Structure 1
Amino acid sequence: MTAKDGPQDRYKGVWLIFFMLGLGTLLPWNFFMTATQYFSTRLSDAQNTTAADRLSEVNGTGIRLPPTYLQAKFNNFMTLCAMLPLLIFTCLNSFLHQRIPQQVRILGSLVVIGLVFLMTAVLVKIPMEPLPFFIVTMVKIILINSFGAILQGSLFGLAGLLPASYTAPIMSGQGLAGTFAALAMICAIATGSPLEDSAFGYFITACVVILLAIGSYIMLPRLDFFRYYSMKDKTEYRVHETHAELETKMDLIKKDEPNGVEKNNLNTVPLHNPNQKPSVISIFKKISVMALSVCFVFTVTIGVFPSVTAEVDSYIAGETEWKNYFIPVACFLMFNVFDWLGRSLTAFCLWPGMNSRLLPFMVALRVVFIPLFMLCNLRSHVYLPTIFQHDGWYIGFMILFSISNGYLASLCMCFGPKKVPSHEAETAGAIMAFFLSLGLALGAIFSFFFRALV
């Protein structure tokens, strides 16, 4: 019996469900990150600023006020509260998956994330002082990224039961999560509604997407294609297959028994003992260049995005509508679109090669984006001058920054497991995932330093 004899994925139902679940893993973080205008307005000094003044700061109908401490540091703390839990729970998930059932991990994570978004939407309508609002927001970000890490690890484990091609919809969903969040924010601004109403609709949209992800996961076990690979149908097939393999091995042993007496040493020492776990340190030595490279890629990216990049003002907008759309379009939408294009390029081009010295050099070269963004038209410069004032400089930097992030990170993640034998590839993949998360966490820490230099 082969996989061809099993049921087919009718109407690509399982593929679409995994795409929706992939969208749900990164959508929460992107929704919080993209809503910087809303959070900045809520963190204004309530004692010195009226509500009308705070709204005028966003809508461009009044004089821009200097940012408060919470406003200036919000993106830094948001990134830190997102990336550290992501790193910690990515590591913990390797223990949790043995003790907590898969359904509880995936469905429970989605429910918690949905409830946090619902709470965020409700809080839009509830007045709060800046400091309590800031603390509550950081707690929500910690919760969302902690459960998001569990959801992501569990989802990739679930996809491992299916053919290899079913990891692709998860990656596609994750790649489009940021684009979806940016487009949702642009649509909310385009309605022309007050900021409060736009933010409420924005977070309700996220709740709807999470509900769709929950409904999709509930439907998954009902599809024959998924049951064949993950439940009784496939289990029974594997039992018969294992039994046949044992019979074959017994026949081979009997052929090696002279005069009916079994040899003490029937075989030579195998090249690889499947019961012996490969050394993590020895595997890391083989993939260290790729692991450190992907770590550095994301350290640079998260170090300035969005803590520095979201603080840039449009030079040419004046009092036009472009002022409202500049950060959602030029920062968040462009980053996510070109990052996705960079990731997609690896399906057609794998240059430079796996052992080329040019790849780590190109990764290291990305450090130049840190000073380039810091010298753009930021809202408040203290130590550095504004050199790249025009919007065109910022947009050009953002295109190169995002496409190199997606392309180089994907190359490293692809090459890492290929530098070791097949029986060590799974461990190599786990090491690469850890260094990816480590890069995100280091970037969050360095973002405080980069923002302070401005």
Structure 2
Amino acid sequence: MNKREDTPKDRGCLVAVIFFILGLGTLLPWNFFMTASMYFNNRLNTSEWSNGTITTRTEYYFNNWMTLLSQLPLLVFTLLNSILYQWISERMRIAGSLVVILLLFILTAALVKVPMEEDRFFSVTMATIWFINSFGAVLQGSLFGLVGLLPQRYSAIFMSGQGLAGTFAALAMIFAIASEADSESAALGYFITPCVGTFITLISYMLLPKLAFARFYLDSKSKSYELEPSIQLLPTGIPETVEGCETASDPPNVSVVNRDPNKAANCVSEEEDCKQAFVPPQPENTSTQKSSVLQVFKKIRVMAFCVTFVFTVTLSVFPAITVDVKTVYGGNWERYFIPVFCFLAFNVMDFSGRTSTLKFKWPSKESRLFPALVVSRVIFVPLLMMCNVQERHTLPVFFSNDFMFAILMLFFSGSSGYFLCLSMTYAPQLVEPKDAETAGALMTFFLALGLSLGAAFSFPLRLLI
């Protein structure tokens, strides 16, 4: 994208900070529900006793259902958002979604103190997860389209904010456990945190239009500057004036770019004939009309495949399988094992992988090695399944050691964040600036497709164990 000399500066990096917060806010719902799996499982998977024996016990498979019911609405509503965004204003889609998510988080926090029968609590929780992620899909798709209008590095900043959301949620869970408070108080404090985070995200978005740097890129009227350099250029070999024709007789607002030399040679003094020596710029040569979705997809199809495959692999085992890995050590460490080695380790390395793309990008977007490396991540699926996942009935345990699981999680999560961010930042570079928003919306759809496929695969993979 060409920059004019009068382009405003991002003073104090405020726009960068806001998009980092917006990225953080888009994934807070998913990460807080995911890291709270212990709270939900403890509340759901209880047993009824009669005469000293278990009479009934319902297995809810909360982690699998949570993953599936988080990603299905993400897929459906991302697709709807890409179709309906022209009829619903950006402010309504973004601010409205944040308000609804905030209200649903308040409901989730309130339910911590409300006694409820297990089946009803499961149904209410699943409905809450569905609606939070439905509005989260609209929010995420709209913000990806928005950040696609800014310089490339803001996409990486936005993605880094998303990567930090999981770390933020994992640390909140660890602090809740370390507080030694009763389970209800710890859960209440835990769910109040995303309420505050979502509110800050809403305020940050409302501040964005007040910054000159953001207005310059996000105001559709400013995008006309992209055509100015080509209009100001004069083709070689065509003189700026033609003998026998006064420049004063040039028709108003007619560029000297497209003069017809044949007509210019025969130009006479009559004003009408002189005007014919100039051919006005044709609209089709400087058209700002966006390409069709299919045309944009053909240009970014490799990146679309990569982002889909990255999340298919990641979500097929995380968290539905990794959350059931058990430590070989007992004591107090057992309470911290999953929050630290599963959630915190994953999100720290995922964040590191995303932010590393700000410094270097390898392989290049044209390299065939890039999709090959993305596909090679499938090796992590059987490796993590062979860790100490309990309960298991079919496959043996090959890696019972805690640290082997931790090492696998570090490479698994770091590669996930790195290749995801590369795919999302490469895609807008493969299209013209006028199609960047369409490319962003398409990549968000394929991101959601990968999440949904991964969630669906987690069911049969868990049964294989």
TM-score, normalisation: structure 2: 0.82
User: What amino acid is aligned across from residue 45 of structure 2 in structure 1?
Assistant: S
Q: Which residue of 1 aligns with 2:309?
A: 296
Name the structure 2 match of 1:81: 69
Q: Please say which structure displays the higher CA radius of gyration.
A: 2
CA deviation map 1:375-404 (0-9, x unaligned):
211120111122211101111110111111
SS in 1 for 2:21: helix
**C-alpha spacing 1:431/1:207, structure 2 compared with 1 (3 Å):** closer
Deviates more, 1:165-174 or 1:142-151: 165-174
Q: In structure 2, the residue corresponding to 1:86 is in which secondary structure?
A: helix
Q: Which residue of 1 aligns with 2:334?
A: 323
- The structure with the greater share of residues assigned to helix is 1
Q: Please give the alpha-carbon distance, in whole angstroms, between the structure 2 residues aligned to 1:102 and 1:375.
A: 46
The residue aligned with 1:367 is 378
CA contact (8 A) 1:46 1:129 kept: no
- Name the amino acid aligned to 2:93: R
Q: Decide whether the 8 Å contact of 1:160 with 1:167 is kept in 2.
A: yes
* Partner residue of 2:352 out of 341, 350, 359: 341
How far has the Cα of 1:370 moved from its partner?
Answer: 1.4
| 275 and 345 in structure 1: CA distance in 2 versus 1, 3 angstrom threshold | closer
Greater Cα offset, 76-85 or 209-218: 209-218
Residue in 1 that maps onto 2:35: 34
Measured against aligned partners, the alpha-carbon deviations of 1:355-376 in whole angstroms (never above 9, x if no partner) come to 4443333222222211111121
Go from structure 1 to structure 2 and tell me whether the alpha carbon gap of 1:33 and 1:346 turns closer, same or farther (over 3 Å shift). same
Which residue does 2:101 correspond to in 1? 113
Equivalent residue number for residue 128 of structure 1: 116
* One-letter amino acid of the counterpart of residue 183, structure 2: L
Q: Name the residue aligned to 1:137.
A: 125
Q: Hey, what's the Cα distance between the residues in 1 that align with 2:388 and 2:367?
A: 37
SS at match of 1:294: helix
CA distance in 2, matches of 1:207, 1:12: 25
Q: Does the Cα contact within 8 Å between 1:311 and 1:379 map onto a contact in 2?
A: yes
Contact 1:376 1:389 in 2 (8 A): yes
Contact persistence 2:431–2:439 (CA under 8 A): yes
- Over 3 Å counting, the alpha-carbon distance change for 1:230 and 1:401 in structure 2 is closer
Q: Distance in 2 between matches of 1:17 and 1:419?
A: 26
- Structure 1 residue 188 and structure 2 residue 176: aligned? yes
Maintained 8 Å contact 2:144/2:441: no
CA distance in 1, matches of 2:11, 2:258: 44
Structure 1 residue 409 and structure 2 residue 399: aligned?
Answer: no
CA distance 1:431–1:447, change in 2 (3 Å): same
Q: Say if 2:156 and 2:357, in contact at 8 Å, map to a contact too.
A: no
1:46 and 1:130 in contact (8 A); partners too:
no
Which piece of structure 1 moves more, 20-29 or 286-295?
Answer: 286-295
CA 218–267 in structure 1, closer or farther in 2 if over 3 Å, else same:
closer
Which structure 1 residue ranges, 5 or more long, are not aligned? 50-65
Who is 2:161 aligned against? 173
Q: How does 1:203-352 map to 2 (within 5 A)?
A: 203-227=191-215, 230=218, 249-252=254-257, 259=267, 260=272, 274=287, 278=291, 280-281=293-294, 283-316=296-329, 318=330, 320-352=331-363
Aligned CA distance change for structure 1 residues 404 and 172 (closer, same or farther; 3 Å): closer
* Alpha-carbon distance in structure 2 between the residues aligned to 1:389 and 1:89: 40
- Equivalents in 2 of 1:315, 1:26: separation in Å? 32
Shift of 1:447: 0.8
Tell me if the contact between 2:148 and 2:437 (Cα under 8 Å) persists in the aligned partners. Answer: no
The aligned residue for residue 54 of structure 1 is: none
| 8 Å CA contact 1:9, 1:225 repeated in 2 | yes
The aligned residue for residue 61 of structure 1 is none
Cα distance in 2 for partners of 1:102, 1:326 equals 42
1:83 offset after TM fit, Å? Answer: 0.9
Instruction: Kindly provide the amino acid, as one letter, of the partner of residue 20 in structure 1.
Output: I
**What is residue 391 of structure 1 aligned with on the other side?**
402
Match in the other structure for 1:433: 444
**What do residues 311-356 of structure 1 show as CA deviations (whole Å, max 9, x unaligned)?**
111112x1x2211111111001111111111222333333334344
Specify whether residues 8 and 247 from structure 1 end up closer, same or farther in structure 2 by C-alpha distance, changes over 3 A only.
farther
**1:200 Cα shift?**
0.4
